Amino acid sequence: MRPTKRSCKLIALALALTLALAGCGKNTAAEKHERQLFAMDTVMLLTAYGDAGDAALAAAVDTINALAADLDPEKDGSSVYALNTGAGGPVAVSADCLAVLETALAVYRETDGALDPALYPVIQAWGFTTGQYRVPEPSELDELLAAKNTDSIILDAAAGTVALPAGMAISLGAVAKGYAAQQAIDAARAAGVDHAIFSLGGNVQTLGDTRPDGQPWQVAVTDPNDTGSYVGTLSVGQTAVVTSGGYQRYFDQDGQRYIHILDPATGRPVDNGLLSVTVVTPDGTRADALSTALFVLGEDGALSYAAAHEDVDLVLVTDDGRVIVTAGLAGGFTEHAEGYTYEYP
CA gap 89, 324 in Å, rounded: 45
CA gap 31, 54 in Å, rounded: 10
Ramachandran angles phi, psi of 6, nearest 5°: -65, -35
pLDDT given for residue 88 in this prediction: 87
pLDDT given for residue 6 in this prediction: 37
pLDDT band at 29 (very low <50, low <70, confident <90, very high): low
Whether the CB-CB separation of 107 and 290 falls below 8 Å is answered with yes
pLDDT band at 228 (very low <50, low <70, confident <90, very high): very high
- For helices 173-190 and 284-308, the axis angle rounded to 10 degrees is 110
Residue of 274, 271, 285 whose CA lies nearest to 314: 274
Whether the CB-CB separation of 288 and 203 falls below 8 Å is answered with yes
Read off the pLDDT of each residue in 11-36 and give the average, rounded to a whole number.
57
Read off the pLDDT of each residue in 25-52 and give the average, rounded to a whole number.
87
pLDDT band at 87 (very low <50, low <70, confident <90, very high): confident
Residue of 296, 293, 337 whose CA lies nearest to 312: 293
Contacts of residue 161, defined as CB under 8 A and 6 or more positions apart, other chains included, come to: 90, 91, 92, 93, 155
Evaluate if pTM is beyond 0.85: yes
> Is residue 21 predicted with pLDDT exceeding 70?
no
> Is residue 256 predicted with pLDDT exceeding 70?
yes
pLDDT tens sequence across 212-222: 999 999 999 99
**What is the sign of the dihedral through the CA atoms of 6, 199, 233 and 329?**
positive
Amino acid at 188: A
CA gap 100, 122 in Å, rounded: 20
List C-alpha distances in Å: 233 to 61, 217, 219.
Answer: 27, 10, 5
Amino acid at 312: V
CA gap 329, 300 in Å, rounded: 18
More confident residue, 333 or 6: 333
pLDDT given for residue 20 in this prediction: 42
pLDDT tens sequence across 301-334: 999 999 999 999 999 999 999 999 999 999 999 9
**Domains delineated in the chain:** 79-174 (1.10.3980.10)
CA gap 232, 199 in Å, rounded: 17
DSSP string, 26-53: ---SS-EEEEEEEETTEEEEEEEESTTH
